[in-house]
Structure 1
Amino acid sequence: MTMSNEARPGFAFGRPPAPDWSDFFGALAEHTDYQARLDALLELTARATKLPVVALYLADSPESRPHLVRLRFPKPARATSAGAETGSRVPFLGGSLGRWRRETLDAETFDVDEAFYSDSVVSVSSGVPLDLPRDERYTTSSIVATPVGALYSVPLHRRGEQIGVVQVGPVSEQPGRRLRKAMESIASPLAHAVALAREQSRLQEQLAEYETRADVSRQMLRSAFELDEFLHLLLELAVKASGTQAGFIALADTSGAIRLHTAVDLPDGLLDGVDLTPGAGFLEWLDEAERALYVADFARAAELGIQVILAVPLADEERVLGVLGLMNLEGGRPPAEHSLNLLAIFAEQIQLVLGNVRLFEAFNRQFVDTIHALARALDARYPYSEGHHRRVTDWAMTIGHELGLSEGQLEALWVAGMGHDVGMCGIVEVEHGFQADFHHPTIGASMFDVLPNGQAASEIVATHHEWFDGWGFPAGLKGEEIPVGGRILALAEYIVESTTADSIQTAMPPSKLFEEIEIRRGRQFDPAVVDAWRAAFERQRRASALGTPFRPCHTFKGEPEAACTTCPARTVDAPCWTIPDVRCIYHGDPDCRGCFVYLEAVERATDAGTDVPAPAPRGVEEV
């Protein structure tokens, strides 16, 4: 049988051209998943050869056997009741595609648009080998016999080394000229594209592994210092191992008194009001040097229904940290003989945990102090930015208290506020505003995120430039997606920047500040946060006498410390702007008429129909 040029693949008008380098690398650009990339490359290979089966083998190293990584294989066609083929699909008989006399005819009769299987189950069922031996047959182009028929095997080389083998088919006993030419033209771009896809996949896997390890390490470190959970777990184990009915751990508070911290199976309120400090009456030292305790108040113990109590102090070399106690209540059986030994073992573990927590807390404080010191150094670049972080934090804490945040939320807000712009230190070209602005929240957050208990502060720092309507940066979060601390810090920073004078412009007076914040209400700022700030600020204003600052100047600015601590406004009983020798120039206020403290007093007096004393001429001394 002969074929006209119109029937021959590659000669008919309108047929797509054979794939080239741009097609193979374009396939990589269209996909990010490694398997999807390989599927696209095999599809291009099938298109170039007009053959349905494409098997890709890759070697992990020059010394290893090439193994099957991806297989393009036709889906078995459904046969009619008479066993005839449906349409132009290829019959699937016992794992074989059958023998075709001529590859050109075979390619023409195969519907390349049908669905394909490409997973390992098909590779096994089809009989395609899962790996290839390292011998000469696969180092050059040749025909190899497989259960799916004869395949044309072509080695893939990159940078002078063989990285794998690609096999296409089924073919006749000898490959035709067109097939050899097609494989010669695509072997090199295919090899380079496959190698690049594999290298990028390995890098992605390594990155994912590193990120997972880092996340696991952070979570483990965080969980390791969740003191309450860890102590409760140890106490449960102690109660169970000793055979006692209940147990407690009491820890020293800031005053040194030892009070109940956590308990297991202890009746509610049983030890409320009991001072568990050794030597305070209920527990006394049997031998303080040996750290041995006994119950001294038998009457109180009987009143509480305690039948047996075993207690040991938790102490380091310097002081008593707490008490570990196991007890049986009325009706309980005596504790096991080994309970005292177990108690000592668990006490040792708890002391170790408490000691580690103290070390960790010291490290945590030092690390946070370092971040805050970097932030203060950033503030010192210009006179008008002195004290920026402290002033933002002051307003943030005022708003946080107004909103009724918890003690933990307020602590995280303070830690974040005092270092919210520290990410600027991680940008070399800090003067290039857009670059610094866009990236500094993420960089700053990463500095806090390394701390086991720094996640809350990290989230606040990362989101303090997000807008309530979603038009902020860097993540475009909106509404409740932004942590409340981030929403608070956003407004607090805007207030500080708007009420700070510099050599170019004066501070924004209160009326203008109210107007600008109302414009941004619900867009840039959370309305609830705006209301909280407005309520607190107006309360401060109402509490101030007319003609006086709503806040003392040295508390409103307070930086640099060397100037403000020697400023006469701290000691003279008069409005700060009436004192000639005020030191405000050192924190960027060249003239009191542009200072927010003065402008606020003027507006408040004007609203009341009175005047304020005029600013005195400035006199400046060296610090």
Structure 2
Amino acid sequence: MERLKRLLDLLLGKNLIDSYGLSVKNHKDEILNSFGTESGDKLELNLEKTKITIHLNLKDQILFDVIGLFLREITLLENNVHSLEEKINELKILQEISNKLNSTLQLHQLLSLIMQLSKETLNAEASSLMLLDKDSNSLIFEVALGEKGDIIKQYKIPLGEGIAGWVALTGEPIIVNDVRKDPRFAHRYDSLTSFQTRSILCVPLKTKEEIIGVIEVLNKIGMEGFDEEDLNLLYSIANQAAIAIENAKLYKDLKELFFDVVETLASAIDAKDPYTHGHSRRVSQYSELIAKEMGLNSNLVEKIKLSALLHDIGKIGISENILLKKSELSQSEREEIKKHPSLGKKILEPLSSLEDILPGIEEHHERYDGKGYPKGLKGEEISILGRIIAIADALDAMTSDRPYRKALSMEDAIQEIENQKGKQFDPEIVPYLISLWKKGLLCSGS
């Protein structure tokens, strides 16, 4: 294009300057725009509100026609390149979302990323993702980004109300570039948040069976409004988000099923002895409470909870005659009982998915001072799982009846654990148990 402009200097420069006192360099774009059709023997220009006619000889006519042809091809090519660049950018965005989709099952984190990319890519002031709550028949904000995002999240939008409610009800996408002219727009949410909505692009979130929510972006930045290309891109993003939500739901359902199976297994083990009925479940609950009180991340809390639920699975390999014996155990019988942590690890070791919980199962009878079993580990040689479960296990054992003694009160058991701080139990963890007790979050036999 720049070469064509330089060529005009040579062809027209002297003519325009001499005849009209105009400089080609100040009007190159206007001149180039006149090459839409064959020029014939003259070139007509409108420059500075002046109509100019330039008469061309045969040689210049041919040259100008060739320039016009090239100009049309170049313009078409530039438009195609721009369109291609936009498509490449869209594919990059969708690829990034897809990569994140395959790398995490943390739903809220993933959806927040998707909506941030939507907001940036579509050049919008705000974006939000709402899920349909069937109990209240309304849309609930899962993610809301923008100046008033934190405020709008506290509100529910009834199905059918506003643009988002209409899209959720009908399943139809919509572009509204002037909300003042659309009777479906619900002004009250702007009043509640002091946000000024000008334009909305909204599409439904769909699974194979149903509409589960909507995605919307608000207020296109710049003079242009949302268009069909924006709509198509947001639709693609919505499809990715719907996949993420479905995967997370499936993962949640499978996880709940898995925990149900594990809890049933743990209960079957506990049921061998009426005195330990519900023991594994309670140890798991206590362990989870301690881990959360410590501020551990959710993944680690889940591992501790599961490890505690299975901490006594090794007792499957111990004779019932020993487990159910009402009189005092002999030395050899005590040694046999001490094998259950190692047996538990051995039973679960073939299951690679449970690898991370094995330390809690093997180490829950280790002592902080190194006098425990099976390995005699001490201090932080014992995993965080083992140190937490050891406290929870002891707490439930002391507050449950045994053939040879009555249960201690929760207060007395807590005091005994505090007395063993730095000896049997981790002195850094015991205070969190005491904190739970003071908050009234512990109860024996729960």
Matched to 1:498, the amino acid is: M
1:344 aligns with 2:272: no
Paired with 1:476 and 1:310, the residues of 2 have a C-alpha distance of 64
**What is the CA-CA distance between 1:336 and the residue it aligns to?**
4.2
Say yes or no: does 1:389 pair with 2:389. Answer: no
Q: Distance in 2 between matches of 1:330 and 1:440?
A: 61
The change in CA–CA distance for 1:375 and 1:325 in structure 2 (over 3 A counts) is same
- Report matched runs for 1:282-293 at 5 Å: 283-285=164-166, 288-292=169-173
Correspondence for 1:440: 344
Paired residue for 2:105? 225
Could you report, residue by residue, the CA deviation over 1:97-130 in whole angstroms, capped at 9, with x for unpaired residues?
A: xxxxxxxxxxxxxxxxxxxxxxxxxxxxxxxxxx
Once the two structures are superposed, the pairs formed by residues 562-581 of structure 1 within 5 Å of their partners are none
Tell me if the contact between 1:312 and 1:325 (Cα under 8 Å) persists in the aligned partners.
Answer: yes
Check the 8 A contact 1:252/1:321 in 2, yes or no: yes
- Read off the aligned partner of 2:395 and give its amino acid letter: I
Kindly indicate whether residue 130 of structure 2 is the aligned counterpart of residue 250 of structure 1. yes
Q: Tell me, which stretches of 5 or more residues in structure 1 are unaligned?
A: 1-219, 541-549, 559-623
Show the 5 A alignment for 1:56-455: 223-239=103-119, 241-252=121-132, 257-262=138-143, 269=150, 271-276=152-157, 278-281=159-162, 283-285=164-166, 288-292=169-173, 296-298=185-187, 300-301=189-190, 304-316=195-207, 320-329=211-220, 331=222, 333-396=224-287, 399=290, 413-425=304-316, 427=317, 432-441=336-345, 450=353
Q: 1:439 to 1:341 in 2, by over 3 A?
A: same
Question: CA offset at residue 375 of structure 1?
Answer: 0.6
C-alpha distance in structure 2 between counterparts of 1:335 and 1:301, whole Å: 20
When residues 285 and 221 of structure 1 are mapped into structure 2, their CA distance, relative to the original with a 3 A threshold, is: closer
> SS in structure 1 opposite 2:390?
helix
- Deviation, 1:287, is 8.3
Following superposition, the deviation at residue 450 of structure 1 comes to 1.8
Number of matched pairs = 322
Structure 1 equivalent of residue 36 of structure 2: none
TM-superposition CA deviations, 1:182-202 (whole Å, max 9, x none): xxxxxxxxxxxxxxxxxxxxx
- Counterpart amino acid of residue 433 in structure 1: I
Alignment pair present for 1:498 and 2:394: no
> Equivalent residue of 1:307, what SS?
coil
Spell out, residue by residue over 1:456-505, the C-alpha distance to the aligned partner (whole angstroms, 9 max, x if none): x66655653343345555676655665655433211211322344444x1
Q: Secondary structure at the match of 1:492?
A: helix
Q: In the TM superposition, what is the alpha-carbon distance from 1:239 to its structure 2 partner?
A: 4.2
Query: What residue identity is the alignment partner of 1:507?
Result: K
Please give the TM-score of this superposition, normalised by the length of structure 2: 0.56
1:397-450 per-residue CA deviation (whole Å, 9 max, x = no partner) reads 56567667787776665444333323545x587974333223425755876x72
Quick one: which amino acid aligns to residue 465 of structure 1?
Answer: H
Instruction: Point out the more displaced range, 303-312 or 466-475.
Output: 466-475
AA aligned to 2:140 is R
Classify 1:520/1:230 alpha carbon distance in 2 versus 1 (closer, same or farther; 3 Å): same
Assess, with a 3 A threshold, how the Cα gap between structure 1 residues 259 and 539 changes in structure 2: closer, same or farther. Answer: closer
Aligned alpha-carbon RMSD (Å)? 4.5
Once the 2 structures are TM-superposed, how far is the Cα of residue 269 of structure 1 from its aligned partner? 3.5
- Aligned counterpart for 2:406 among listed residues 499, 507, 518: 507
* Aligned partner of residue 526 in structure 1, secondary structure: coil
1:199-249: CA deviation from partner (whole Å, max 9, x where unpaired) = xxxxxxxxxxxxxxxxxxxxx998341223433443344445545454332
Contact 2:308 2:389 in 1 (8 A): yes
For 1:313, what is the secondary structure of its paired residue?
Answer: strand
> 8 Å contact 2:144–2:150 — kept in the other structure?
no
- SS of structure 2 residue aligned to 1:391: helix
For residue 345 of structure 1, report the CA deviation from its aligned partner. Answer: 1.8
Amino acid at match of 1:346: I
Q: Unpaired segments of 5 or more residues in structure 2?
A: 1-99, 177-183, 323-335
Cα distance in 2, alignment partners of residues 313 and 398 from structure 1: 39
Please tell me whether the aligned partners of residues 248 and 266 of structure 1 are also in contact (alpha carbons under 8 angstroms). Answer: no
1:384-405 alpha-carbon deviations (Å, 9 max, x no partner): 2222113324544565676677
CA shift for structure 1 position 364: 1.3
3-state secondary structure, aligned to 2:260 = helix
Alpha-carbon distance in 1 for matches of 2:215, 2:146: 14
Describe the shift of the 1:381–1:328 C-alpha distance in structure 2 as closer, same or farther (beyond 3 A).
same
Instruction: Name the TM-score, length of structure 1 as normaliser.
Output: 0.42
Residues 332 and 470 (structure 1), Cα distance of their counterparts in 2 relative to 1, 3 Å cut: farther
> In structure 2, the residue corresponding to 1:352 is in which secondary structure?
helix
Task: State, as a whole percentage, how many aligned pairs show the same letter.
Answer: 27
Structure index of larger Rg: 1
- Shift of the 429–335 alpha-carbon distance from structure 1 to 2, 3 Å rule, reads farther
Cα separation, 2, equivalents of 1:488 and 1:365: 23
Contact 1:308 1:327 in 2 (8 A): yes
Checking the alignment, whether the CA contact within 8 Å between 1:249 and 1:262 is kept in structure 2 is yes
Judging changes above 3 Å, is the alpha-carbon distance between structure 1 residues 414 and 334 closer, same or farther for their aligned structure 2 residues? same
Q: Which SS does the other structure have where 1:288 is aligned?
A: helix
- Equivalent residue number for residue 423 of structure 2: 523
Deviation at 1:512, TM superposition (A): 7.9
